[in-house]
Amino acid sequence: MLVILDEMDRTVLQRRLPNNLEQICQALCAHREGIEGIAVESTYNWYWLVDGLMEAGYRVHLVNTAAVKQYEGLKYKEDVHDARWLAHLFLPVGYIYPKEARGVRDLMRKRNQLIRQRSGQILSIENMLSRDTGKRASANEIKRWQETDVDQLALAESSRLAVKSNLAVMHCLNEQIERLEAEILKKAKFRLPDLAGNVVGTFVALGSRSCWS
């Protein structure tokens, strides 16, 4: 939903448009001279719209609606009311990542997602072991387990199979996490300045892993 308001809060344009950059730019074109800025909601799929509008020369604000308390209590949830509300918000805004940095940011998000999934597999094994045997194993121990280690546990056959399934998924996740980390460490480096503003080196940290150059 596209809504344009003037300085008196009057609706200049209100139109439902498809997710098509060309049509959106055409609708904005007639009002271009009077547009001070465009507020876009920070949803999961904002890249194409924000990039396209910025490339077309518009000043774009990525509105972080999660940080706006009034937005949570909005009476109407239709797109037209959301769009009018966004036109008033502008702040607080989210950071618009440069295109060249987004790939690494998205890889880091994917890594975090896989780590959470791996933790779920480990927790499942811990719970099953505690429930069936009354014994405990640390996450670090479980990370080193192979199927032969599971065969040594005092578990019923069905429980062993369940643990082996968790292990198989965990090992697969380990492989993908390491693959992502290798790529992130190649590309993501933060420049560290000294007190005078001179760059003294680069530093990257991924959980417990870090490197300095």
CA distances from 141 to 137, 152, 190, 208 (A): 6, 14, 33, 17
Same domain as 143, residue 67: no
Answer whether residue 211 is part of any domain: no
Mean pLDDT lowest among 23-37, 62-76, 108-122, 165-179: 62-76
Which of 145, 86, 87, 85 is closest to 121 using CA atoms? 145
pLDDT in tens, 12-46: 888 888 989 999 999 898 888 888 888 888 777 88
Q: Could you give the percent of the chain with pLDDT greater than 90? A: 31
Is the CA virtual torsion 120, 121, 127, 128 positive or negative?
Answer: positive
Together in a domain, 85 and 133:
no
pLDDT at 132 over 50: yes
Q: For all residues of the chain together, what is the average pLDDT?
A: 79
User: Do residues 9 and 84 share a domain?
Assistant: yes
Domain match, 107 and 176 both: yes
Distance separating alpha carbons of residues 182 and 69, to the nearest angstrom: 39
For residues 1 and 87, the answer to whether their CB atoms sit within 8 Å is: no
Between CA 167 and CA 163 the distance in angstroms is: 6
pLDDT at 7: 74
Domain that holds residue 136: 99-188
Please tell me whether residues 113 and 63 are part of one structural domain: no
Phi, psi of 22 (to 5 degrees): -60, -45
Q: Pick from 94, 109, 136: which residue ends a domain? A: 94
Same-domain check for residues 107 and 184: yes
Q: Look at residue 88 in the predicted model and tell me its pLDDT.
A: 55
Task: Tell me if 213 is assigned to some domain.
Answer: no
Mean pLDDT for 164-177 is 96
Burial 34-72, CB ≥16 within 10 A → b, else e: eeeebbbbbeeebeebbebbeeeebebbbbbbeebeebe
Question: What kind and span of H or E run contains 11?
Answer: strand 11-15
Domain total in the chain: 2
Same domain, 12 and 48: yes
In terms of Cα–Cα distance, which of 83, 41, 33 is closest to 60? 41
Look up residue 14 and give its two tokens.
Answer: 């209100």
Q: pTM score, two decimals? A: 0.63
* In a shared domain, residues 6 and 90: yes
Please give the pLDDT value at position 95.
72
